[in-house]
Structure 1
Amino acid sequence: MLLINFAHPLTDAQFSQVVAIVEETPQLCFVDTQVSRMRPLGEVAYDLVESVSLKTADWQTIPIIINPPGLAPLALAVIAELHGRSGYFLPIINMRPVPKTTPTIFEVAEICNLDAIRQVARTRRIPKL
């Protein structure tokens, strides 16, 4: 299993939370997402995903989890690029703030299966009579 982190580096506690959820220790790949906002998002997303250096077959066969970038438009472009390579929506880490912490501490809330969400949403396309 591969965890591709397009966001802030994970703390040891956050990585341990991921390990507990997926019940294995994924290989971690950190991608620096400090990018120019003057470039088209499609180009930026391509460059970020390309920097992971996986082969075409790897995107379709290796179990992958994504920690998406914090910048929403970039996260969406990265997810679109990844879907094009893998053929499905990869699961993502959902981070949430821990209540009443100063400074704010984030924890792993869940591993969110985007493809499962998509499959359920497809059932809502059926017209209601």
Structure 2
Amino acid sequence: MILLNFSHPMTDPQRTQIEALTGSEIAREIAVMPQFDEQQPFTPQVEALLAAIPLSPDEWQSEPILVVLPSLNFIAAALLADLHGRMGYFPPVVRTRPVEGSLPRRYEIAEILDLQAMREAARRTR
């Protein structure tokens, strides 16, 4: 599986948690920290960010890809729209949470959100 990380660097324990939750080995990790100019439109910035990722159109459509979204909601929304267009479906995403009582603060993997399954379930409520 390819892990596309648009957030903070993953720790080894977090990678282990991801592999346990997905049942798949992380074969490749691509870390891209978005630094957007908030005074400029986001669409071209998202396009440039994703164009810099070394994946072919075939890989975008056929490889198992898991995404760690950036924390800024506007960038995350724009990324998901573009990723859906490249991949043909919504990618699963990693949700992190603070480890309760940890000092200094640490984060663990809370769950893997299957966005495509969520979309399909929501369509049945129409």
TM range, smaller chain? over 0.9
Number of the residue aligned with 1:21: 21
One-letter code aligned to 1:122: R
Comparing 81-90 with 39-48, greater Cα deviation is found at 39-48
- Number of matched residues? 125
One-letter code aligned to 2:44: E
Pairwise CA distance, 1:16: 1.2
Extract unaligned runs of 5+ from structure 1: none
Number of the residue aligned with 1:79: 80
Q: Which 4+ residue blocks in structure 1 deviate beyond 3 angstroms?
A: none
One-letter code aligned to 2:47: Y
State the TM-score, normalized to the length of structure 2: 0.93
One-letter code aligned to 2:80: I
Number of the residue aligned with 1:104: 105
Number of the residue aligned with 1:66: 67
Extract unaligned runs of 5+ from structure 2: none
Tell me if structure 1 keeps the 8 A contact 2:36–2:42: no
Comparing 25-34 with 1-10, greater Cα deviation is found at 25-34
CA distance in 2, matches of 1:63, 1:28: 12
| 1:103-128 residue CA offsets vs partner (Å, 9 max, x unmatched) | 22111011110000000000111xxx
How many percent identity over aligned positions?
Answer: 38
CA distance in 2, matches of 1:57, 1:34: 27
One-letter code aligned to 1:22: T
CA distance in 2, matches of 1:7, 1:95: 11
One-letter code aligned to 1:123: R
CA distance in 2, matches of 1:55, 1:30: 17
CA distance in 2, matches of 1:104, 1:120: 35
CA distance in 1, matches of 2:123, 2:16: 34
State the TM-score, normalized to the length of structure 1: 0.91
Larger radius of gyration: 1
Aligned-residue CA RMSD in angstroms? 1.1
One-letter code aligned to 1:6: F
One-letter code aligned to 2:48: D
Number of the residue aligned with 2:42: 41
